[in-house]
Amino acid sequence: MPTRLNPYLGFRDNAREAMDFYHSVFGGELTRSTFAEFQAGDPAEQDKIMHSMLVTENGLVLMGADTPNSMAYTPGDNYSISLSGDDDGELRGYWEKLADGGTVTMPLEPAPWGDTFGMCVDRYGVSWLVNIAGGGS
């Protein structure tokens, strides 16, 4: 699978509604997972969307999630850029360069869904999510 660069939108409590709206606009296939499905987060927030992805027939990809109450949420700062694929070396190389001089908010490590995942904010304040399919090495 080639590495993809995708917008990732953050919401507070309405990711399900927003992603349903984008699905009605763009069509395609919408998948989503809740925090409960991965036994993650605050028990009071289990119905929130941990991850959703809309993929259209013409190749558009839009991702989104609810921001847990324990994390900062400021409309206008509610976006990230997601890098995903299965090339471990390529994605780890991007991760190291993006995190250099920035802040690692979640280390690049095995995730509950079986991949390797991490989050960082680069030196310019841009939030990045890196997901290596299959867990990397």
Are the C-beta atoms of 118 and 109 separated by less than 8 Å? yes
Residue-range domain boundaries for the chain: 4-135
Distances (CA, A) of 77 to 9, 45, 57, 98: 9, 21, 29, 18
80-89 pLDDT, tens digit each: 889 899 999 9
Task: Indicate if the pLDDT at residue 62 is higher than 70.
Answer: yes
State the sign of the Cα–Cα–Cα–Cα dihedral 87, 127, 125, 106. Answer: negative
Report the chain's mean pLDDT, rounded to a whole number: 90
Q: What is the model's pTM?
A: 0.72
Q: Does domain 4-135 have CATH number 3.10.180.10?
A: yes
C-alpha span between 43 and 24 (Å, rounded): 30
